[in-house]
Amino acid sequence: MSLLPLLETRRIVLCVGSGGVGKTTTSAALALAAAQRGRRVLCLTIDPARRLAQSLGIDAMSSDAHEVSRERFEAAGLHVPGSLTVMMLDTKRTFDELVVRHASSVEARDRILGNRLYGYLSTSLAGTQEYMAMEKLHALERDAAWDLIVLDTPPTANALDFLDAPERMVDALDSAVMRWFLTAFEASGKLSLNLLARSTAVILRGIGKLTGAGFLRAMAELVVELNDLFGGFRERAREVSAALRGPHVAYVLVTSPDPMSIREVLYFSERLRELGMPRDAFVVNRVHPQGGPVPDAHAVAEALAEQGLALGPGAEARVLAAAADEARRGELDALHLEELRVAMLGGTDRPLRVDVPAFARDVHDLRALAAVASVLAGPPPR
């Protein structure tokens, strides 16, 4: 099976899944696959591994759009008639842009952006990262420069967080705790830190440095100012949510063969179904091969000699044990994936599924990425 139909027909591809399953790798590989087929692709990524970022030529510190150069593709032996532009998601910068857009005046805008706690709040509030990813996507969606936008998603404890992120973030900002804090502060003009710590522990965790009245004042001022933006934020959150539910958006659910990860991806897929949205595709990443030949002692000894490897006494036994272990993992993966297979049969949608093998090395350069792209979308045309 191949995910090519999604790359050819959709405008947005969203890769979701639990932490560490391979969302960033999958989104970059899908973006490359589309670019290899002539599409102008924007890959919005979050925190790619440093070596992957380097091999794409992007600066980990910059969130500017960066087109991967012809030279880089050629050096990796890749023919890319389209284009691949990578942009790192910057939560704080996106939040800043949102504040700029919705602040009632220049003064209000400057007061918020200049608030000592704003930097912390804008990146640490529940759902902020996810919301800002969606916000950025929404802002870029209408840009005619891109045929396709592939969105990587942040590692959330729960892949589900994504769909509710816009509302959740506004709710957090508008929460009872915040309101309580605001009222309490306004009433007395002063508050015991003890009391404060108990009720707003979550919000305050990690701030530490700012204490006393200065801190309280900064917090109260920020909450008052942000309150002002709630109307605009809410409206925008609704828009962003609606945009995520259109037919031009494909959801690619990424999982590992691990039972926990499968359970999570099935939970998310159930949720999509409840919302009347199709589950477009599943990618099972890092699958161990099943039923491959397990070498015998003789074959191992020969292979070691051929490679000129002298691994010391007991090397053959260790290699044999590792090979047997690999085979067992293959069996286990197949067993776990049976649950996914059955779950995919339920419902009227016919999601695609591609299994990506566990490669011996991390996917950290264009060549390796192209190998994943070929698994996901088939070999590129030449």
Ligand X SMILES: Nc1ncnc2c1ncn2[C@@H]1O[C@H](COP(=O)(O)OP(=O)(O)OP(=O)(O)O)[C@@H](O)[C@H]1O
Site residues (CB under 6 A) for ligand X? 19-25, 47, 49, 155, 285-286, 356, 358-359, 362-364
Does residue 24 belong to the site contacting Mg ion (CB under 5 A)? yes
Nearest Cα to Cα of residue 149 among 56, 44, 253 = 44
**Stretch touching Mg ion by CB under 5 A, among 18-26, 141-149, 229-237, 244-252:** 18-26
Alpha carbons 261 and 10: distance in angstroms, whole number = 26
Token pair for 282: 């599943």
CB of 55 to ligand X, least distance (A): 11
Does residue 285 belong to the site contacting Mg ion (CB under 5 A)? no
Alpha carbons 301 and 181: distance in angstroms, whole number = 71
H or E segment and range at residue 345: helix 315-345
CB of 67 to ligand X, least distance (A): 21
Total site size for Mg ion, rule CB under 5 A:
2
Q: Tell me, what DSSP letter sits at residue 168?
A: H
Tell me the residue nearest to Mg ion as measured from the CB. 24
For ligand X, the closer of residues 230 and 359 by Cβ is 359
Cα angle, residue 341 at apex, residues 338 and 347 outer, rounded to 5°: 145
H or E segment and range at residue 251: strand 249-255
CB of 287 to ligand X, least distance (A): 8
Q: Choosing among Mg ion, ligand X, none, which partner's interface includes residue 364 (Cβ < 5 to 8 Å by kind)?
A: ligand X
- What letter represents residue 215's amino acid? F
Tell me the residue nearest to ligand X as measured from the CB. 155
212 burial class (0-12, 13-18, 19+ CB within 10 angstroms)? exposed
Cβ pair 99, 219 in contact under 8 A: no
CB of 167 to ligand X, least distance (A): 22
CB of 18 to ligand X, least distance (A): 7
CB of 28 to ligand X, least distance (A): 8
For ligand X, the closer of residues 52 and 117 by Cβ is 52
Q: Choosing among Mg ion, ligand X, none, which partner's interface includes residue 246 (Cβ < 5 to 8 Å by kind)?
A: none
Does residue 129 belong to the site contacting Mg ion (CB under 5 A)? no
- Residue 70: Cβ within 10 Å count: 11
Q: Choosing among Mg ion, ligand X, none, which partner's interface includes residue 338 (Cβ < 5 to 8 Å by kind)?
A: none
Alpha carbons 9 and 314: distance in angstroms, whole number = 55
Token pair for 251: 């959801």
Q: Choosing among ligand X, Mg ion, none, which partner's interface includes residue 189 (Cβ < 5 to 8 Å by kind)?
A: none
Binding residues vs Mg ion (CB under 5 A)? 23-24
